[in-house]
Protein backbone atom coordinates (compact mmCIF):
# COMPACT_ATOMS: atom_id res chain seq x y z
CA UNK A 1 0.00 0.00 0.00
CA UNK A 2 1.27 3.45 -0.86
CA UNK A 3 0.98 5.91 2.01
CA UNK A 4 0.66 9.71 1.79
CA UNK A 5 4.06 11.32 1.22
CA UNK A 6 5.68 8.35 -0.55
CA UNK A 7 7.92 9.43 -3.45
CA UNK A 8 7.33 7.31 -6.56
CA UNK A 9 8.49 7.10 -10.16
CA UNK A 10 5.72 7.00 -12.77
CA UNK A 11 6.37 3.97 -15.01
CA UNK A 12 3.47 4.18 -17.47
CA UNK A 13 1.66 6.77 -19.51
CA UNK A 14 2.53 10.23 -20.73
CA UNK A 15 4.41 11.15 -17.52
CA UNK A 16 6.52 7.96 -17.44
CA UNK A 17 9.92 8.49 -15.83
CA UNK A 18 8.79 11.52 -13.81
CA UNK A 19 8.83 11.77 -10.02
CA UNK A 20 5.52 12.00 -8.16
CA UNK A 21 4.41 12.11 -4.54
CA UNK A 22 1.30 10.38 -3.21
CA UNK A 23 -0.98 13.16 -1.94
CA UNK A 24 -4.12 11.18 -1.09
CA UNK A 25 -5.29 7.56 -0.96
CA UNK A 26 -8.51 7.18 -3.01
CA UNK A 27 -9.22 3.42 -2.83
CA UNK A 28 -7.41 0.06 -3.07
CA UNK A 29 -6.32 0.67 -6.68
CA UNK A 30 -5.93 4.45 -7.04
CA UNK A 31 -4.04 7.32 -5.40
CA UNK A 32 -3.86 11.06 -6.10
CA UNK A 33 -0.35 12.09 -7.18
CA UNK A 34 1.42 15.42 -7.69
CA UNK A 35 4.97 16.60 -8.33
CA UNK A 36 6.81 16.70 -11.66
CA UNK A 37 3.73 15.01 -13.11
CA UNK A 38 0.27 16.45 -13.50
CA UNK A 39 -1.88 16.33 -10.35
CA UNK A 40 -4.26 13.47 -11.03
CA UNK A 41 -5.68 10.13 -10.03
CA UNK A 42 -3.28 7.30 -10.84
CA UNK A 43 -3.40 3.52 -10.66
CA UNK A 44 -0.91 2.09 -8.15
CA UNK A 45 0.25 -0.37 -10.83
CA UNK A 46 1.66 2.61 -12.79
CA UNK A 47 3.90 3.69 -9.89
CA UNK A 48 7.27 2.40 -8.69
CA UNK A 49 7.64 3.38 -5.00
CA UNK A 50 11.00 4.54 -3.63
CA UNK A 51 12.24 4.35 -0.05
CA UNK A 52 11.79 8.12 0.45
CA UNK A 53 8.78 9.39 2.42
CA UNK A 54 8.08 13.13 2.59
CA UNK A 55 6.35 14.73 5.57
CA UNK A 56 3.08 15.80 3.90
CA UNK A 57 -0.48 16.02 5.10
CA UNK A 58 -3.32 14.35 3.19
CA UNK A 59 -4.48 16.60 0.32
CA UNK A 60 -1.33 18.78 0.27
CA UNK A 61 -1.26 21.52 -2.38
CA UNK A 62 1.06 21.58 -5.39
CA UNK A 63 3.09 24.32 -3.69
CA UNK A 64 3.60 22.10 -0.60
CA UNK A 65 4.78 19.20 -2.74
Q: What is the predicted pLDDT for the residue at 33?
A: 95
Q: What distance in Å separates the CA atoms of residue 65 and residue 57, rounded to the nearest whole number?
A: 10
pTM over 0.95: no
Where are the alpha helices (H) located in the chain, listed in sequence order?
A: none
pLDDT along the chain (65 residues), means of 10: 91 94 93 92 95 87 78
Contact, 43 vs 29, CB < 8 A?
yes
Amino acid sequence: MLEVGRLCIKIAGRDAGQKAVVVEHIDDNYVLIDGQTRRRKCSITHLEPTSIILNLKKGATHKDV
